[in-house]
Structure 1
């Protein structure tokens, strides 16, 4: 159970502190907010996309403030990019790719991921996890702090996870059974910067 917890939920420990950042210049198409799209002019009338909720009522004022400060910001496109970033960060962590994690995260989140990878490698453990599906992604909070935009997204996903020891023996999990994961990640971007990318800066569990 401990190994499975580390494999699936370690990232919930990564963000119970500050909150702000996210994403790689090499693959901006998967980065929240990198797209140039028509601005959302009426956030109250644009809370859903394809029948799915895009953001909660409590995030409306913050979304409106961000749209006002950055006319290129598009809510639905940001959320699509956030889902891509969610997958990329998890997969990079599972395979122990510190370089990609450094492109996607910042601050204490990056340091915590690196430390967890080091601990896992020192124990000789290897993860064979798979993100089966993101069932739901919705903006729970948004705010503008000066020129810094912060957006918090809740992800409800199904993850299949296996942890193997140094000899390749399965010590936890199964790829046959997906486990529900409920994560809250916060992304940050300096709207005054020429860099259009967002960084993951805070993680927590729902």
Structure 2
């Protein structure tokens, strides 16, 4: 019985050696030079450090990378309005920079969008005699001038029919910061049709079928310390 047991042990030992040798031949040995497992979420995906740095720089220059905290941001020497001075005449750039340094939320394009909307509202409200719309958009002296013209029409029973065909352009012409008051002059070029009729519907001024190109220069003002983000028109004049 002892010899049988020894023979069984020998057979099992040989089988274990054969299994180990088979696994070794299939899986191989670790030498320290194996490729790491592929990670689909890795930023480099097998690229070297220099290749990865070059790829990151290319992606950022293509606008595909959003700068995160800790990344180098544009130099302060570029100015607060760097790359955002469209529709601005050269003489206004310094004033806009001063305004932006005082009011970090200021943006010329955003301002112009609001100025265009205000222009359309004001010229339409003036033609319709809509004092309620005009009041918050105009300073006291400008409102007094507009209201006086409206009252004069009403006293003569005249009615203005107005159509803003289109606003062709709106450009910042001047910009100035005086203490905390920001003042920006905007040149508007529009196409309008205006006619004034009496109480009998007879045209007394203008031509309903003629479209005129009108140039206006309006000055907007806002106190940069105020929490109110709205601007008021403080001066109007006809442009050349």
Using structure 2 for the length normalisation, give the TM-score: 0.65
In structure 2, the partner of 1:74 is 107
Task: Please give the alpha-carbon distance, in whole angstroms, between the structure 2 residues aligned to 1:42 and 1:97.
Answer: 39
Q: Secondary structure at the match of 1:176?
A: coil
Q: Deviations over 1:111-166 (max 9, x none)?
A: 00010001011111100011111111100000101111100000011001111101
Task: Please give the alpha-carbon distance, in whole angstroms, between the structure 2 residues aligned to 1:46 and 1:84.
Answer: 20
**Unmatched 5+ residue regions in structure 2?**
1-77
In structure 1, the partner of 2:174 is 141
Q: Where do 1:112-191 residues align within 5 Å?
A: 112-191=145-224
Q: Deviations over 1:93-116 (max 9, x none)?
A: 000011111111012101000100
| Contact residue 80 and residue 100 of structure 2 kept, 8 A | no
Using structure 1 for the length normalisation, give the TM-score: 0.75
Give the aligned CA root-mean-square deviation in angstroms: 1.4
In structure 2, the partner of 1:109 is 142
Task: Please give the alpha-carbon distance, in whole angstroms, between the structure 2 residues aligned to 1:140 and 1:76.
Answer: 13
Structure with more relative contact order (C-alpha pairs < 8 Å, separation 6 or more): 1
| Contact residue 151 and residue 187 of structure 1 kept, 8 A | yes
In structure 2, the partner of 1:61 is 94
Q: Which has the larger radius of gyration?
A: 2
1:93 aligns with 2:131: no
When you count helix as a share of all residues, which structure comes out higher? Answer: 2
Q: Secondary structure at the match of 2:211?
A: strand
When you count strand as a share of all residues, which structure comes out higher? Answer: 1
| Contact residue 44 and residue 60 of structure 1 kept, 8 A | no
Q: Deviations over 1:151-202 (max 9, x none)?
A: 0000011001111101112222233221110000000001111111100110
In structure 1, the partner of 2:83 is 45
| Contact residue 142 and residue 150 of structure 1 kept, 8 A | yes
Task: Please give the alpha-carbon distance, in whole angstroms, between the structure 1 residues aligned to 2:121 and 2:85.
Answer: 26
Q: Secondary structure at the match of 1:113?
A: helix
Q: Deviations over 1:29-76 (max 9, x none)?
A: xxxxxxxxxxx955353222xxxxx11000000000011111111111
Q: Secondary structure at the match of 1:86?
A: helix
Which segment drifts farther, 164-173 or 87-96?
164-173
Q: Secondary structure at the match of 2:125?
A: helix
Task: Please give the alpha-carbon distance, in whole angstroms, between the structure 1 residues aligned to 2:80 and 2:180.
Answer: 21
Task: Please give the alpha-carbon distance, in whole angstroms, between the structure 2 residues aligned to 1:87 and 1:175.
Answer: 19
